[in-house]
Each structure stands twice: as structure tokens, then as C-alpha cells.
Structure 1
Amino acid sequence: MEDRVSNNEVFIEKIFNASPEKVFSAWTDPGKLVKWFAPDGCTVYFKKLVIETGGRFHSCVTNPRFGDCWCIGEYKEIVPGRKIVFTMINADENGNPINPAEIGMDPDWPGQTLVTVTFAEENGKTKMQLRQTVSQELAKRTGAYPGWLQMLNNMQILLDQN
């Protein structure tokens, strides 16, 4: 597995006290995904969710302070228990791609990013690595990076309960 970190991407590594299969399931079971795939204080709703290679999603994260943030994407690669690759595209409620700046986001934020999540077993636990094709500095400035950290902490809580 490639561990090199680039300034041109978000990179997060987290160890979960659960098997790769359980961590992978948190990403691919719609009932589990809706419980953690939004930052603290927000909720996520999926208008469409087909989790398979070539499958698509249309989601909305509702933030009480900033309103709704719609997103569409496609699952480019799914390897059970090992890897998930998907696009994230800023969109409107009807699933049409939109320029992030038009909805008040940082004008430097790309309209589309690619997220790659890998899972590896280590001593009975799972090392999960998440990469997103956007500068980590920009992701920290816009709140996307702390949002990922909050969501992954929420996923840990969910895993601890099951």
C-alpha cells in the first residue's frame, strides 16, 4: 500500500478496533452509512444510493447553520473488505453538477474530487486510509478535512456499538 503523502491531496489514516469487513460494511451498508456519513450536528439523506462498481449516489448533507449541500457521485471501484473508490461532485437537488462557488463554497474548491478508501488488517484491527483529490490545506480551510475527521469518529462510535 502506498503511504506517501502529497500536499495535493487529503490524507487521513485511522485505526479501527474492528475487522476490515466490519469497517467496509460501515461504508457499504446504507443503514449504517446514514448513521455516520455527515459531520457533527448534520444529517445525511440519500435520494439515490447504489453501492456497487458503476453505481451512483445522490446525497444531501443538511447543516442547521449553512443549509443543504447536495452531492452526486459514482462508485468507480469496490473491492469487498479492501477498497472503495468514488467521485464526489457538487450538485443541486435534481442531481445536476454545479460550480461550488455558485453555492457559496470556496472558489478554489474543485467541482469534482475522487475519494479512495483502503482497508488493511493489522493485528486484529483495521488500518483505513482515505485520500481525496483536493489540497489538504484547502480542505482544512473549508471545513472538509475536519468534517471527515468528525464523520470517521462517528463511524468508530457506530462500530463500537455493533
Structure 2
Amino acid sequence: MERMAKMFDTWSLDREVVLVKVLNHPRDRVFAAWMDPNALAQWYGPAGLAIESHEADIREGGLWRFDMVGMFEGREQRFANLMRFLTIVPNERIVMDYGTPDPDDPDRFRVTVTFDEQTDGKTVLTLRQLHPTPERRRFVIGFGAVEYGLQTLEGLAAWLDG
């Protein structure tokens, strides 16, 4: 944990991925979609993957342990995930560490989500990922992190509109 804290003490653009989505809903509703484990399981994740929650304690110091589940080449695949919630400022900001359930996951990264309500009642959601190294950032971008992240935010928009 101490290694993680030191790694994320400084912000570096060469380790950052930023995604932005304007949502046609007030920020308290957008924020609430992140705080409700049942809602998260409905909209979170890239298109084509389902969420199977194993543990959901969404509060500062809490965690969400879940699998992303999908069919690939005719067989089910599971991707284990763990979010540890570090800071939650209602309707403003969520900060979490994100990785696998392995406590020594070297690829764990920091995520900061901010919710900015506009005068027209819409919310600008900004999701910032800070990866441990520039090389890891390049790897996840090459793997599809931007596309998959935007699909996740589209899923949130569709869920809110539904």
C-alpha cells in the first residue's frame, strides 16, 4: 500500500488517460448511479460484458469486487476486478484504486471521477486514470482502454436515460 501511495503522490500526464462525457441529467442523479451497487452492475463495463458483483461496499474505505463476464470464441471468460474507494465527496468526486483482487497487483491504477453540473442541468463527468508507468498507460491504450471506457460512459448515459 505504501508503494501505491508513493506512486500516486504526483500526477503525470504521460501516465494519464482522461475520458469526458456530458450527461443530460443533474449531477446528484449521475453521482447516485455510482453509489448504488445494483445500478453499477447494470451499466458499468464495456459493451458485451456483464457484471457479476461478489462484494459491494461503496463508501470511503469500502470496495467493490466484481467480475466482467463475456463470451469469447464460444466460451465464457471472466475478468476479476477490484475497486477500493479512497475518497467520496457527494455529488463532486470519487477517488478509487482499480485493479485485480491481487493485493500486489503491479498494474493497479488510480481513478478520479468528477461531476460538474452545468447551468443547463447537464453534468460533465470526467474520469481520469493515472497508471503506474508511462509504459503501462501506452499498453492499456493499445488494449482499448479509451474505447472501452467510452463504452462504459455510454452505458451510464443509456441507463440514466432509461
- What's the TM-score bracket when you normalise by the shorter of the two chains? 0.7 to 0.9
> 1:130–1:21: structure 2 CA closer, same or farther, 3 Å change rule?
same
Q: Which residue of 1 aligns with 2:111?
A: 115
Structure 1 residues without counterparts, runs of 5 or longer: 100-109
Q: Which has the higher helix share?
A: 2
Deviations 1:6-54 (A, max 9, x none): 2321101111110010110111111211111121111011101101000
Count of aligned positions: 144
The reply on whether 1:86 has 2:96 as its aligned counterpart is: yes
1:15 corresponds to which of 14, 22, 25: 22
Structure 2 residues without counterparts, runs of 5 or longer: 1-10
* Residues 83 and 116, structure 1, Cα contact 8 Å, conserved in 2: yes
TM-score by length of structure 2 reads: 0.81
Q: Which residue of 2 aligns with 1:157?
A: 158
TM-score by length of structure 1 reads: 0.81
Instruction: Work out the CA distance in 1 between the residues paired with 2:50 and 2:113.
Output: 21
Say which SS state the counterpart of residue 7 (structure 1) adopts: helix
* Residues 5 and 11, structure 1, Cα contact 8 Å, conserved in 2: no
Instruction: Work out the CA distance in 1 between the residues paired with 2:158 and 2:93.
Output: 21
Deviates more, 1:141-150 or 1:130-139: 130-139
Instruction: Work out the CA distance in 2 between the residues paired with 1:138 and 1:82.
Output: 30
1:47 corresponds to which of 54, 77, 84: 54
Instruction: Work out the CA distance in 1 between the residues paired with 2:33 and 2:54.
Output: 19
Shift of 1:98: 6.3
User: Percent identity among equivalent residues?
Assistant: 30
Q: Which residue of 2 aligns with 1:31?
A: 38
* Structural RMSD (CA): 2.0
1:75 corresponds to which of 64, 67, 85: 85
Shift of 1:154: 0.8
- The residue type equivalent to 1:112 in the other structure is R
Deviations 1:77-114 (A, max 9, x none): 001111111111223xxxx3465xxxxxxxxxx52101
Deviation beyond 3 Å, 4+ runs, structure 1: 96-99
Instruction: Work out the CA distance in 1 between the residues paired with 2:158 and 2:49.
Output: 16
Say which SS state the counterpart of residue 157 (structure 1) adopts: helix
* Residues 10 and 139, structure 1, Cα contact 8 Å, conserved in 2: no
> 1:149–1:5: structure 2 CA closer, same or farther, 3 Å change rule?
farther
The reply on whether 1:143 has 2:144 as its aligned counterpart is: yes
> 1:11–1:5: structure 2 CA closer, same or farther, 3 Å change rule?
farther
